[in-house]
Amino acid sequence: MEFCAQKVMEDVIQWIRDWFAANGPDCNAVVGISGGKDSSITAALCAAALGKNRVIGVLMPNGEQSDIAVAKDLVATLGIKNVEINIKTAYDALCTEIEDKIGAMSRQAVVNLPPRLRMSTLYAVSQTFNGRVANTCNLSEDWVGYSTRYGDSVGDFSPLSNLTVAEVKEIARCAGLPDRFIEKVPSDGLCGKTDEDNLGFTYATLDRYIRTGICEDEQTKQAIDRRHKANLFKLRLMDSFPYDGPRKAED
């Protein structure tokens, strides 16, 4: 079946309305804003579903952010309420405290700490302003575990988690978002590389494989499968010991 961006966009908007009706009729949508396609279209869909006065965009640079102007442009374009909260003081203080106690942190710990601080910030804003936090991850990222557990991988509701990167872009264009937000090169903003540099393959290749099962390059196919299998734990509820209590003795 051919993907119809207009219909899916309308369905997502209605889904957001229904979700808030059931889980917070008077609540605001709180969205972390990077200026990239995912946060941009999530904010736009929430504004269409709830009204722009019920959407709060949160910009969270870690010190100086080279592309912060794009995020500011996005909230101005959508006309949503917004706040900028710099996490650098908290990040630096926490890094110092941790390293004073355990020594140098691993590279992975350093890279993943900012998104976890950002999610804590989003929930602080959300709980202060009667909000619900939007998860902005898409299916392509989730498929290969390209998110930080308990960072950008979480939230209260997720409009995009079953949509690939290509599909998200189509919906963004259908919603009338300018190309400067849709085509902003995806990057985690942490290690200086693009998403595709880190992954070792393009989102176009990944999207095609997800939707059709086709990937001509065997090494790329194996790399995608390996990442998908290794990161499935991020997508399910936390594993727990399966114990259902003591059983009554049989008569």
Q: What is the CATH number of the domain that holds 76?
A: 3.40.50.620
- Range name among 10-24, 60-74, 176-190, 195-209 with the lowest pLDDT average: 176-190
Note down the domain range covering 182.
5-234
What is the reported pLDDT for 54?
98
Determine, yes or no, domain membership for 240. Answer: no
Domain count, the chain: 1
Determine, yes or no, domain membership for 26. Answer: yes
Determine, yes or no, domain membership for 244. Answer: no
pLDDT band at 251 (very low <50, low <70, confident <90, very high): low
Instruction: Give pTM, 2 decimals.
Output: 0.93
Determine, yes or no, domain membership for 239. Answer: no
Residue, of 173 and 35, whose pLDDT is higher = 173
Distances (CA, A) of 216 to 90, 188, 227: 46, 28, 17
Determine, yes or no, domain membership for 125. Answer: yes
- Cα–Cα distance measured from residue 87 to residue 98, given in angstroms and rounded to the nearest whole number: 16
Determine, yes or no, domain membership for 243. Answer: no
What would the pLDDT profile of 179-222 be if each residue is shown by its tens digit?
999 988 766 555 567 888 889 999 999 999 999 999 999 999 99
Bridge partner residues of 157 (DSSP): 134
Determine, yes or no, domain membership for 247. Answer: no
